[in-house]
Structure 1
Amino acid sequence: MESSKETGCQAPEGPILCINNCGFFGSAATMNMCSKCHKDMILKQEQEKLVASSIENIVNGGSGSNWKEPVVTCTDVQSGPVELKVVATQASPDSSSSQSSEMKGKEGPNKCSTCRKRVGLTGFNCRCGNIFCAVHRYSDKHDCPFDYRTAARDAIAKANPVVKAEKLDKI
């Protein structure tokens, strides 16, 4: 007891609850917050810095190339998690086609294109671009429009280029 008076250190009398009233215990190292609340606070500060720097970059003009810097938007909900959306914009005429391919990404559950049976993670991707069940996975079972013969010919032609030597040595 006397050594604590000499050093000026005080032993904590009991556990300290988190200052955000989440029900967990905090510590002095994390500013009397639990580890989750402390991480959330640090993440929120970093996001605010990112937003401030991206807004400053936009206001100052950014780069002069065709590709623009990613724009970071932050939607903040008091009781829910913080969402971070990064939107990359480009100044090319192909922007409408790239957006439609992003929207097409994943549409509902995976089903066999022939029998419409749900396949989940066990579906087989065909070269024609469709997903099939175990019964219809082979090309002859689902009338595949993909031309395997020309694809194989192209692969062989690419792998074995024609090498032709000159008949006479040039002087």
Structure 2
Amino acid sequence: MNANETEALPCARGCGLFGTRQNNNLCSLCYKESVLQQAAKVRLEPKTETETERSPVCPQATTTSPVAAKEPVGVKRRCETCQRKVGVLGFKCRCGHMFCGSHRYPEEHSCAFDHKQSGRLSLAKQLPLIRTDKLQRL
């Protein structure tokens, strides 16, 4: 490595930290953010910016919190039938509710979701009906 590559320069985004030439004159936090943004553009997936937090070290860098996007903080997960706390072990049914281990089956919580019909529809999509034309008898 040359002395020019490790020379500390002010961050190009102006966050107040020092960057290096290896990181395109960006500090490590801003460089990481720029790499993540480029990767998101390559994947062609929309990036949600609804729940971003500013880094206390680098005010220009933003990070998304995957835990906050899934569930709001302070909501206790309870069984819809018996109101028992299910914690991490909760079972989510297709009807959209959370249940404990004893009420996880559709028969136990009188599920409104039609499992038979959804199974029939999925089989119909996977196995299309193939019919041939009748042969002409001579």
Q: What's the TM-score once normalised by structure 1's chain length? A: 0.42
Q: 2:120 aligns with which of 153, 158, 163?
A: 153
Q: 1:98 maps to which residue?
A: none
Does structure 1 retain, via aligned residues, the 8 Å contact 2:53–2:62? yes
Q: 1:84 maps to which residue?
A: 62
What amino acid sits opposite 1:157 in the alignment? A
What amino acid sits opposite 2:120 in the alignment? R
**1:167 Cα deviation from its structure 2 partner:** 2.6
Percent identity, aligned pairs only?
Answer: 29
What amino acid sits opposite 2:28 in the alignment? L
Change in 2 beyond 3 A, CA 1:81/1:104: closer
Q: 2:89 maps to which residue?
A: 122
1:131 counterpart = 2:98: yes
**1:81 Cα deviation from its structure 2 partner:** 8.6
Runs ≥4 residues deviating over 4 A: 69-74, 80-83
1:163 counterpart = 2:130: yes
Aligned equivalents of 1:70, 1:138: Cα separation in 2 = 36
Aligned equivalents of 1:163, 1:71: Cα separation in 2 = 43
Change in 2 beyond 3 A, CA 1:115/1:104: farther
Higher helix share: 1
Larger radius of gyration: 1
Aligned equivalents of 2:81, 2:48: Cα separation in 1 = 42
Aligned equivalents of 1:71, 1:164: Cα separation in 2 = 47
Unaligned 5+ segments in structure 1 are 1-28, 32-36, 51-66, 87-102
Change in 2 beyond 3 A, CA 1:81/1:166: same
Unaligned 5+ segments in structure 2 are 1-5, 9-16, 20-25, 35-43
Q: Which has the higher contact order (CA 8 A, sep 6+)?
A: 2
The alignment's C-alpha RMSD in Å is 4.3
Matched length: 100
Change in 2 beyond 3 A, CA 1:135/1:82: farther
Aligned equivalents of 1:145, 1:70: Cα separation in 2 = 34
- Write the deviation string for residues 90-133 of structure 1: whole angstroms up to 9, x where unpaired: xxxxxxxxxxxxx9841413211112211111111111111100
Change in 2 beyond 3 A, CA 1:42/1:113: same
